[in-house]
Amino acid sequence: NSLWRIPVKGGTPERVSAFGENVISPAISRDGNRLAYTRLLGDMNIWDYELDSSGRLKSKSPLIASTFRDSDPDYSPDGKHIAFTSGRNGSFGIWVSESDGSNPRLLFDGGAYVTGSSNWSPDGKRIAFDTRAKDPVHVGNPSIWTVDVDGGQARRLTGGGTSDVAPVWSRNGAWIYFASMRGGDLQI
């Protein structure tokens, strides 16, 4: 949920991005110079579950946690790192940490727009993800992007007026499969 505004006379709605996501119940003061609103904040964390040899839960503990959303984990092919989505710096982005959750570093900052579904390439050099960021025309429609694990500019792979989410690399790294609404309903 986002905060939008539209002139009383009608026109095109305009998203007010300064307030972030999950904004509901706006109230404007009589003189028009104050705005109060509700922002829904959830604290999601990534947990580590250790199983014994029979597959039963041996222990559980927080693996990656902050005061904001941490979600969508994916282990690197060598098991040494985890890519994940986090809002820990005040905006949503793709982060990478050691497999124990230490040394997190930001790879892609999506700003106020939700970013998620990180997935490592088979060679461990790139991460594919979906985001609604950086598309002023189609703000509500996520697209598929990749970013090098060593840093650099993220590269957009899909775009336009459709929703593309949940990318997964092929085993040989030549293709990225994703879910899309471009056919009218969600399809791979």
pLDDT digits (tens, 9 = 90+) for 16-64: 766 666 777 777 777 877 777 777 666 788 888 888 888 788 888 888 8
pLDDT at 103: 96
pLDDT digits (tens, 9 = 90+) for 113-171: 777 789 999 999 999 999 887 655 545 688 899 999 998 888 999 986 788 999 999 99
How is the chain classified by DSSP, letter by letter?
---EE--TT----EE-GGG-SSEEEEEE-TTSS-EEEEE------EEEEEE-TTS-EEEEEEEE--SS-EEEEEE-TTSSEEEEEE-TTSS-EEEEEETTS-S-EEEEE-TTS-EEEEEE-TTSSEEEEEE-TT-SSSTT--EEEEEETT----EE---SSS-EEEEEE-TTSS-EEEEESTTSS-B-
Round to whole Å and give the CA distance between 70 and 144. Answer: 20
In this prediction the pTM is: 0.74
User: Quick one: average pLDDT of 79-91?
Assistant: 88
Instruction: Give the highest mean pLDDT range of 56-60, 92-96, 109-113.
Output: 92-96
- pLDDT class of 65 with cuts at 50, 70, 90: confident
